[in-house]
Chains A and B, each alone.
Chain A
Amino acid sequence: GAVVSQHPSRVICKSGTSVKIECRSLDFQATTMFWYRQFPKQSLMLMATSNEGSKATYEQGVEKDKFLINHASLTLSTLTVTSAHPEDSSFYICSASRSHGNQPQHFGDGTRLSIL
């Protein structure tokens, strides 16, 4: 069964709305989770590393104020797309690892965000 749960799976909303996406590790504690973004027919682009109890680490070119990440517990990270616009429409995927470096990361099912 799934070990990383992501919610919601699909969001359609108006421009200017803020959207929160949740990522949960179901049966393990994850001090680190990752957020990726994928445009149609393209690869996954790492947006940020979510660190439990501290600030997220953002990749170059990713706006911190636009994509707010909170990792308040060892099993939950949230990504909030603030004041979303059509260009933010994308597939957002989170991941977490049970065992650092030696096991594959487990990916959530992804959230398809469509901004009208």
Chain B
Amino acid sequence: ELKVEQNPLFLSMQEGKNYTIYCNYSTTSDRLYWYRQDPGKSLESLFVLLSNGAVKQEGRLMASLDTKARLSTLHITAAVHDLSATYFCAVDVDTDKLIFGTGTRLQVFP
């Protein structure tokens, strides 16, 4: 059974701190996506990772992909309150068919 697991499921962190969210998956794939979801809203695309070793950065967020380890990370640098949301990784298992991770709910407090 295909599993996409995120760790941690819930993260409460202070503004200005750094932290990493992990996404482990159990099938072979070289395409992985990160999305953000605000409460009651749909998904916003953050990163597209298309190959082993891919690293993308946007603002305070940086994502990486290790296809051999079947692991992706989302690193948060100097967190701010606006980053509070739920973050999902999603693995492409068959040309655009995505299996989502369990989600990480992030709360950033002053």
Give me the interface of A with B, judged by CB distance under 8 Å.
Answer: 6, 32, 34, 36, 41-46, 49, 93, 95, 97, 100-110, 112
Give me the interface of B with A, judged by CB distance under 8 Å.
Answer: 31, 33, 35, 40-43, 45, 48, 50, 88, 90, 92, 95-103, 105
* Residue of A with least CB distance to B10: A41
Shortest beta-carbon distance, A12 to chain B, in Å?
Answer: 15
Task: Check A44 against B100 for contact (C-beta < 8 Å).
Answer: yes
Q: Which residues of B contact A97 (CB under 8 A)?
A: 96
Task: Give the residue of A32, A46, A101, A103 whose beta carbon is less than 8 angstroms from that of B99.
Answer: A46
Q: A43-B100, A43-B101, A44-B100 are in contact. Are A110 and B42 (CB under 8 A)?
A: yes
Q: Kindly list the 6 A-B residue pairs having the minimum CB-CB distance in the complex, ordered from nearest.
A: A104-B45, A107-B43, A110-B42, A44-B100, A43-B100, A107-B42
Please name 27 pairs of A and B residues whose Cβ atoms are closer than 8 Å in the assembled complex, sorted by A.
A32-B95, A32-B96, A41-B105, A42-B103, A44-B43, A44-B90, A44-B100, A46-B97, A46-B99, A93-B42, A93-B43, A95-B98, A97-B96, A100-B95, A100-B96, A102-B50, A104-B48, A105-B45, A105-B96, A105-B98, A106-B45, A107-B35, A107-B42, A107-B43, A109-B41, A110-B41, A112-B40
